[in-house]
Amino acid sequence: MRAVLVVNPQATSTTEGGRDVLIHALRSTVKLDVVQTEHAGHAADVARDATHEGVDVIIAHGGDGTVNEVVNGMFAGAHATARAGELPVLGVVPGGSANVFARALGLPKDPLESTHRLLRALETGSRRDVGLGRANDRWFTFNAGVGWDAEVVAEVERLRSQGREATPTLYAKTALACYFRVRKDPPAITVTIDGEEPVTDLYTAFVTNTDPWTYLGSFPVRMNPETSFDTGLGICSLTHMGTYGVLRHVSQMLRARATPHGKNLVRRADLARVHVRCVEPLRLQVDGDNLGECTAIEFVSVPNALRVAV
């Protein structure tokens, strides 16, 4: 079995010692090539080439951004209609701060425990087919968003480039600062769902491919509890940005069993397609990666798109 390990050495919780243990363990099971990423887009390039060469397994060791790049690279290196079973199997050893995709799959957050789980999956052939989302031509594994959350992602990226560590506290403070900035602007988003009338004058468009939407430290943020890797996409949008209403919804989303609801909340689940149009260009993020500004985004659910070793 041929495998490529894609390592992001800059990821929050990766260490040189941990990488050595992972590499040594994997080489006892598979024929392994190791690539450490050197720049943005490098992981996607490696995954594209590995897919084209017919590698059996591609393993991402890093944060959600590394996983996202690897997934997009796999599809870039495959036939346009490729589905799970036709692409390499994806393996994930979390090494970031949130690791939403890995945790949503039930993988251990600890890299050593996750390595043990991956080795067992490779030896036994344990696999899971998961659905993915696509925002225009970019694939995403767990969430995407237009507006407020994308502003948060862009600002955190800027702060990290200045040496700040990506912690839950940094995300919370940044989200609060961006909230006060975004609420001053008029609602600029229209959401269209197949079979329904367009919903206009929205402030946000949070799109989910699974539950939870993300994590705030150890706390899951649950926007669409009905959404999973086995269903279509979910969407959650706000018609108002009043402080009381937003705090109420945040509180609902942090409860283990609550389902977010309210008059100023537009929420749907298990959708095949969602179209988002903006009056003026707004930021778009996928899996915590800032893609810049857009005016029109077509979100599409692709069932059973990827096979993951679990």
Q: Where are the domains of the chain?
A: 2-125, 143-302
CA–chain centroid gap for 13, Å, is 17
Q: What is the C-alpha separation between 60 and 144, in angstroms, rounded?
A: 20
Identify the band that residue 36 occupies on the pLDDT scale cut at 50, 70 and 90: very high
Identify the band that residue 286 occupies on the pLDDT scale cut at 50, 70 and 90: very high
Share of the chain above pLDDT 90, in %: 81
Summarize the chain as % helix, strand, coil (round to 5): 30, 35, 35
Who has greater pLDDT, 112 or 5?
A: 5
Show the tokens assigned to 293: 């500004």
User: Would you say residue 115 has pLDDT above 80?
Assistant: yes
Q: What is the pLDDT, as a whole number, of residue 256?
A: 79
Q: What is the pLDDT, as a whole number, of residue 259?
A: 86
Q: What is the pLDDT, as a whole number, of residue 277?
A: 97
Structural contact between residues 66 and 96, judged by C-beta atoms closer than 8 angstroms: yes
Mean pLDDT on 108-125:
92
CATH superfamily of 2-125: Probable inorganic polyphosphate/atp-NAD kinase; domain 1 (3.40.50.10330)
Q: What is the C-alpha separation between 248 and 23, in angstroms, rounded?
A: 46
Q: How confident is the prediction for the chain on average, in pLDDT?
A: 93
Mean pLDDT on 215-224:
89
Identify the band that residue 16 occupies on the pLDDT scale cut at 50, 70 and 90: confident
Residue 19's H or E segment, with its range, is helix 16-27
- How many Cβ atoms sit within 10 Å of the Cβ of residue 65? 19
The string of pLDDT tens digits covering residues 64-78 is 999 999 999 999 987
Positive or negative torsion for Cα 174, 177, 183, 187: negative
User: Would you say residue 12 has pLDDT above 80?
Assistant: no
Alpha carbon distances (Å) from 40 to 35, 43, 70, 241: 14, 8, 11, 34
Nearest to 289, CA basis, from 79, 87, 71, 74: 71
User: Would you say residue 80 has pLDDT above 70?
Assistant: no
Structural contact between residues 132 and 83, judged by C-beta atoms closer than 8 angstroms: no
Ranking 85-94, 111-120, 207-216, 255-264 by mean pLDDT, the lowest is: 255-264
Q: What is the pLDDT, as a whole number, of residue 79?
A: 66
Tokens 């003026």 map to which residue?
A: 280
Phi–psi pair at 40, nearest 5 degrees: -60, 135
User: Would you say residue 85 has pLDDT above 80?
Assistant: no
Q: Which of the 8 DSSP states describes residue 197?
A: -
The string of pLDDT tens digits covering residues 155-206 is 999 998 898 888 888 999 999 999 999 999 999 999 999 889 999 999 999 9
- How many Cβ atoms sit within 10 Å of the Cβ of residue 38? 11
3-state secondary structure of 49: helix
User: Would you say residue 81 has pLDDT above 70?
Assistant: no
Do the domains 2-125 and 143-302 sit in the same CATH topology, yes or no? no
Query: Which CATH number is 143-302 given?
Result: 2.60.200.40
User: Would you say residue 27 has pLDDT above 90?
Assistant: yes
Mean pLDDT on 247-276:
91
